[in-house]
Amino acid sequence: MVDPSDKAGFPHHMIKEIFEQPQGLRDTILPRVSLEEAAVKLEDIRIPADDLRTLRRINIVASGTSRHAGMVGQYMIQELVNLPVEVDYASEFEYRNSLLGPDEITVVITQSGETADTTSAQREAKARGSHTIAISNVVDSTIAREADGVLYTYAGKEVSIASTKAFTAQMAVLFLFSLYLGQVRGKLGKDQRRHLLRELLEIPNKLDPALECAEQCEHLAETYLKFDDFLFMGRGIHYPVAMDGALKLKEVSYVHAEGYPTGETKHGPLALIDEHLPVVILATCDRGDPGSVIRYEKNVANIKSFKQQGGRVIAIGSEGDAVLPKLADHTVLLPQAPELLLPILEIVPLQIFAYYIAVKRGLDVDRPRNLVKSVTLE
């Protein structure tokens, strides 16, 4: 029986849970993958394959960090399965009069499985005739019990209020779900599936070297401790990761931070960027993906313009990158990975940076003020 108060020698649950991510990913991925058959096996999905074959749209509904995972999942599903996906705030879902049809499913994502907004959004979706699949980190939670199908994350018990290891496990489950849909709908052939599964199986091993940036992130926190505003940026699938990096900083250090699509900054936020507003930009690159290279080159151009107007830039890049360290004030380099899986690595330095800012500000990292682990009231 896991003793939830046990920090396993770490000073706080948050940093312990950040370092538990490789194991949480292995426990979440391995039982569902057969490389031999190049197949994904989702035991509790309980939605007939025929229904998945005739699907016209997927709605993802969630709150907080879980919604950011949903946004990453949107890119994965649309890229790999060519199926339209919409992502909603659970707290807004009932007001949007979402025109759900029979050939749609609603995926609700939740670490705790008890969040009131997400619970009622699922009930709303079901009342409108939609099948639901719950992605939950707590077995037999309310949301899991009420869903038609379940995809559990096995990140282990998450004690710290700011969600970390559940987030990376959610992104891994959404990648598995995308491959499963591609498999069932005949969109992804065996070779392509096997290649993508091999890449996914590599990710837990790449998280270990990614966690080695902890010391550098602690130094960065020391350097940026006095700043009260930050702008986090990313393009494409990296934008929701920037959103979660900003949320982590807000949640645990009470510092104002905003996540923004990099390309959108020229339509306003660019006016803010100077020596008082540090920019954290996701500028990783999958050299094997032409779209990723184009995004990277655009990010490099953005960094140059931020520097020209006196901005301070922390860049998150991919190992072997010799350009970013010359351009940005600080650069954290992460292991190489395919574009759709880079988010699972990129969030790590952002989690650790937020953690050390909070620690150095003497705050209660695991129990931030005014927040609870699961909001059970609407």
307, 313 contact by CB (below 8 A): yes
Report the SS3 class of residue 88: strand
219, 357 contact by CB (below 8 A): no
Q: Could you tell me the smallest distance in angstroms from the CB atom of residue 324 to ligand BG6?
A: 30
Q: Which two tokens stand for residue 291?
A: 């779209």
Report the SS3 class of residue 343: helix
DSSP type of residue 97: T
Per CB under 6 A, the list member of 8, 35, 225, 372 interacting with ligand BG6 is 372
Q: Could you tell me the smallest distance in angstroms from the CB atom of residue 118 to ligand BG6?
A: 5
Asked if 160 touches ligand BG6 (CB under 6 A), the answer is: no
Contact code string over 1-20 relative to ligand BG6, x by CB under 6 A: --------------------
Which stretch, 75-83, 158-166, 207-215, 314-322, contacts ligand BG6 (CB under 6 A)? 158-166
Q: Could you tell me the smallest distance in angstroms from the CB atom of residue 170 to ligand BG6?
A: 8
Which stretch, 111-119, 125-133, 329-337, 339-347, contacts ligand BG6 (CB under 6 A)? 111-119
Residue 118 phi, psi (nearest 5): -75, -35
Per CB under 6 A, the list member of 52, 135, 161, 359 interacting with ligand BG6 is 161
Distance, CA of 40 to CA of 180 (rounded, Å) = 6
255, 357 contact by CB (below 8 A): yes
Q: Could you tell me the smallest distance in angstroms from the CB atom of residue 204 to ligand BG6?
A: 21
Q: Could you tell me the smallest distance in angstroms from the CB atom of residue 58 to ligand BG6?
A: 18
Per CB under 6 A, the list member of 145, 189, 371, 378 interacting with ligand BG6 is 371
Residue 150 phi, psi (nearest 5): -135, 140
DSSP type of residue 270: G
Which stretch, 25-33, 34-42, 112-120, 263-271, contacts ligand BG6 (CB under 6 A)? 112-120
Residue with tokens 């970390």: 164
Per CB under 6 A, the list member of 106, 112, 130, 153 interacting with ligand BG6 is 112
In DSSP terms, 314 is beta-bridged to: 280, 330
Q: Could you tell me the smallest distance in angstroms from the CB atom of residue 31 to ligand BG6?
A: 22
Distance, CA of 10 to CA of 348 (rounded, Å) = 17
Q: Which two tokens stand for residue 9?
A: 């020698």
**Which CB atom, from 296 or from 355, has the smaller least distance to ligand BG6?**
355
Exposure string over 92-107, b if 16+ CB within 10 A, otherwise e: ebbeeebebeeebbbb
Q: Could you tell me the smallest distance in angstroms from the CB atom of residue 33 to ligand BG6?
A: 24
Which stretch, 30-38, 285-293, 317-325, 369-377, contacts ligand BG6 (CB under 6 A)? 369-377
**Contacts with ligand BG6 in 50-89 (CB under 6 A)?**
63-66
Residue with tokens 């025109």: 99
Q: Closest residue to ligand BG6, Cβ-based?
A: 64
Per CB under 6 A, the list member of 40, 55, 61, 162 interacting with ligand BG6 is 162
Asked if 120 touches ligand BG6 (CB under 6 A), the answer is: no
CA atoms within 13 A on the CB side of 200: 33
Asked if 374 touches ligand BG6 (CB under 6 A), the answer is: yes
Distance, CA of 143 to CA of 147 (rounded, Å) = 6
Q: Could you tell me the smallest distance in angstroms from the CB atom of residue 157 to ligand BG6?
A: 12
DSSP type of residue 107: E
Q: Could you tell me the smallest distance in angstroms from the CB atom of residue 353 to ligand BG6?
A: 17
Q: Could you tell me the smallest distance in angstroms from the CB atom of residue 305 to ligand BG6?
A: 33
**Which CB atom, from 244 or from 258, has the smaller least distance to ligand BG6?**
244
Report the SS3 class of residue 362: coil
The CA radius of gyration of the chain, in Å to the nearest whole number, is: 20
Query: What's the CA angle centered on 106, arms 104 and 109, to 5 degrees?
Result: 155
Interacting residue ranges for ligand BG6, rule: CB under 6 A: 63-66, 110-112, 115, 118, 161-163, 371-375
